[in-house]
């Protein structure tokens, strides 16, 4: 089943806007284009979108500044940045401010369609999981009230599978899969959404190494070429090291496996 949705494309290049609109439109997406970040933000104020694709370097407002505003005002809206001038610092900054992905121009049609479908599929799955978690919490609270008000000797409910599956622990690291947050030695850490998914993949495989392509597939839901997978994993692990490690240059948790990928050592 194909995933469709509303996509906002922001780019100052008219030809690229038209090309992306045509390519994504032919794949079943409803596409709106904006020639500047300012115009794109205006569209967001009046129309709900499922995904934003925006250039990084544009006249007027910079794509990074637009990303920051979008993340503050629409925190659950996925944003993908693309640029013709790759820079690891800008990639990490984008991820830090909530970008879902970071693509390099020129963008192949099949790649942008695959990424859009994967991101929207994942976004909808996460939204549904949050809905189910809220329903479970509401039912548990209702059950508690019924027991307290209608039973002479209250019976404590046994923890359900949903509660057991909420937390994933590796040593001092605890990942809350519902709230999508991380605790390290009981200290909460703020981790961007996609980087959280990379950490979760590494935690599930720990202490074994995870190759670059497996990391991307399991964290982001799509296949990539080996070189691109290595770059994507590198950006996210770099971001995670800045947050988790005492010294990002001498990592203790997120270790590089030369020529292969990364592994988490937390136990």
Query: Where are the chain's structural domains?
Result: 6-122, 160-264
Q: Higher-confidence residue: 179 or 8? A: 8
Q: How confident is the model at residue 229 (pLDDT cuts 50, 70, 90)?
A: confident
Name the range with the highest mean pLDDT among 7-21, 101-115, 148-162, 214-228: 7-21
Collapse the DSSP code of 190 into the 3-class scheme (helix H, G, I; strand E, B; otherwise coil) and give the result.
coil
pLDDT recorded at residue 86: 67
Query: By mean pLDDT, which of 12-26, 124-138, 243-257 is the weakest?
Result: 124-138
pLDDT at 43 over 90: yes
Using an 8 Å Cβ cutoff, are 201 and 222 in contact?
no
Q: How confident is the model at residue 35 (pLDDT cuts 50, 70, 90)?
A: very high
For 62-67, the CB contacts below 8 A with 24+ separation are 62/37, 63/10, 63/37, 64/90, 64/93, 64/94, 64/97, 65/37, 66/10, 66/37, 66/40, 66/41, 67/94, 67/97, 67/98, 67/99
pLDDT recorded at residue 157: 44
pLDDT at 1 over 60: no
Residues paired with 101 in a beta bridge: 80
pLDDT recorded at residue 154: 42
Q: What is the mean pLDDT of the chain?
A: 85
Rounded Cα distance, 208 and 16, in Å: 42
Q: In the predicted model, what is the mean pLDDT of residues 33-40?
A: 95
Q: How confident is the model at residue 152 (pLDDT cuts 50, 70, 90)?
A: very low
C-beta atoms surrounding 232 within 10 Å: 23
* 6-122 shares its CATH topology with 160-264: no
Q: Which CATH architecture has domain 160-264?
A: Orthogonal Bundle (1.10)
Q: Higher-confidence residue: 17 or 153? A: 17
Is the domain defined by 6-122 classed in CATH 3.40.50.970? Answer: no
pLDDT at 73 over 70: yes
Q: In the predicted model, what is the mean pLDDT of residues 5-34?
A: 94
């Amino acid at each position: 089943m194909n995933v469709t949705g509303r996509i906002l494309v922001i780019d100052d290049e008219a030809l690229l806007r038209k090309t992306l609109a045509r390519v994504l439109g032919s794949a079943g997406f409803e596409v709106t284009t904006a020639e500047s970040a300012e115009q794109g933000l205006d569209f967001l104020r009046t129309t709900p979108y499922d995904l934003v694709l925006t250039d990084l370097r544009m006249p007027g407002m910079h794509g990074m500044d637009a990303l920051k505003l979008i993340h503050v005002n629409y925190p659950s809206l996925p944003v993908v940045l693309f640029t013709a001038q790759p820079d690891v610092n800008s990639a990490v900054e984008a991820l830090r401010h909530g970008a879902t992905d970071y693509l390099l121009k020129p963008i192949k049609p099949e790649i942008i369609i695959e990424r859009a479908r994967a991101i929207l599929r994942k976004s909808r799955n996460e939204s549904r999981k949050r809905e189910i978690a809220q329903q479970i919490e509401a039912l548990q609270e209702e059950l508690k009230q019924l027991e307290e008000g209608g039973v002479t000797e209250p019976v404590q409910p046994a923890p359900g599978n949903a509660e057991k599956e909420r937390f994933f622990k590796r040593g001092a690291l605890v990942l809350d899969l519902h709230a999508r947050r991380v605790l390290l030695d009981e200290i909460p850490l703020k981790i961007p959404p996609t980087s959280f998914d990379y950490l979760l993949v590494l935690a599930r495989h720990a202490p074994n190494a995870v190759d670059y392509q497996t990391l991307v597939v399991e964290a982001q839901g799509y296949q990539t070429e080996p070189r691109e997978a290595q770059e994507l994993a590198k950006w996210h692990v770099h971001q995670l090291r800045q947050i988790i490690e005492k010294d990002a240059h001498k990592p203790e948790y997120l270790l590089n496996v030369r020529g292969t990928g990364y592994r988490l050592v937390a136990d």
